Structures are given as structure tokens and as C-alpha cells.
Amino acid sequence: MAYCKFCGSQIPSDSAFCPKCGAKAQDSGAAPGMEFGAKGGASVPPGPGSYKAPIQERKIALCIILTIVTCGIYGLVWFFNMVNDLNTAAPSSDDKTPGTVLLLSIVTCGIYSLVWLYKAGDKVDRIRTHNGEAPSSSAVLYLILGLVGFSIISYCLIQTELNKVAQIPA
């Protein structure tokens, strides 16, 4: 039995693709936890609460207050850091750099940020699954919140999940 290096799920030996994320089986094969979080080098087996990523925990209330006080400017910094932390905690082959995501979000007047919120929900679900928690449909929730103008709530929910796996204290 092999393990997917992208999501940590078990892949049956007769399967060509991961049943969870669809990655090719030959691209997989590492022990769970050894490749998941490869940018940060997490090397713990999967289990409830066992996965930690080399990211910094952020205080959500402070992020919200600074975003409001700076008329949204700190929100861009927070968004940039969140993209970077999510790419580190749950890397995938199609990750875009934080600068690219921020630039595309600004140039498209926020439309690309909705796409990113959906992808971020998938990554959060992968982190939850890897940590032994029940996955949910975070992608749809984050997208709906973004569509109705509550992206900051999505940011708070994403940051909460990132804080759960943060290895480096603030």
C-alpha cells in the first residue's frame, strides 16, 4: 500500500491514481507525512493533531483590527502571508506564489481571490484529513462568504486552521 505525497491518503497497490486527490500513483509512494508539507519538511506520521508545519501562528483579532485601522492595507499583508503559509502547510504542484495571487486578485478586482478562496478550502480540507479530522466542504463555504462580501471571515477561518498546525510560536 502506497501513500499519496500530495494528500497523505492511502493508495491501493492496484490503483494508478490517488482516490482522494487524483495524483498519479507513481508520483506518490512516500510514507504519509514525509512529503506532505514538503516545503517545510514535516516528518511525522499522520494522526490526530500530529501534523505541524513550519509556519507562524497569527493572532486573528489583531489582524482584523490592523486591517480595519489601516483601511484594508494590512489585509493585503495578511492575505499575502496566508497564501504563503497555506502553500507551506499544504503544498501542491499548481501553487502560485503569494505575490502572484495578490497581484491577480488586485488586477481582476477580487475575482481571482474568489478562485483562491475555493482552492484554499481544498487545502484546508487536506490539512484536516492529514491530521485525522473529519473533512468538510470548506471550499464552498469560503467561496460563498467571499461572494457575499465576507472574505475577511474566510480569512479568519483559514487562519484558525493554519494556527492549529503552526509549529513556530508567534
Coil/strand/helix, residue 52:
coil
Stated pTM of the model: 0.72
Helical residues (DSSP H) of 16-150, grouped into ranges: 60-69, 73-89, 98-107, 111-130, 138-147
Q: What is the mean pLDDT of residues 88-116?
A: 94
Element (H, E) at 88: helix 73-89
Higher pLDDT, 135 or 143: 143
Q: How confident is the model at residue 120 (pLDDT cuts 50, 70, 90)?
A: very high
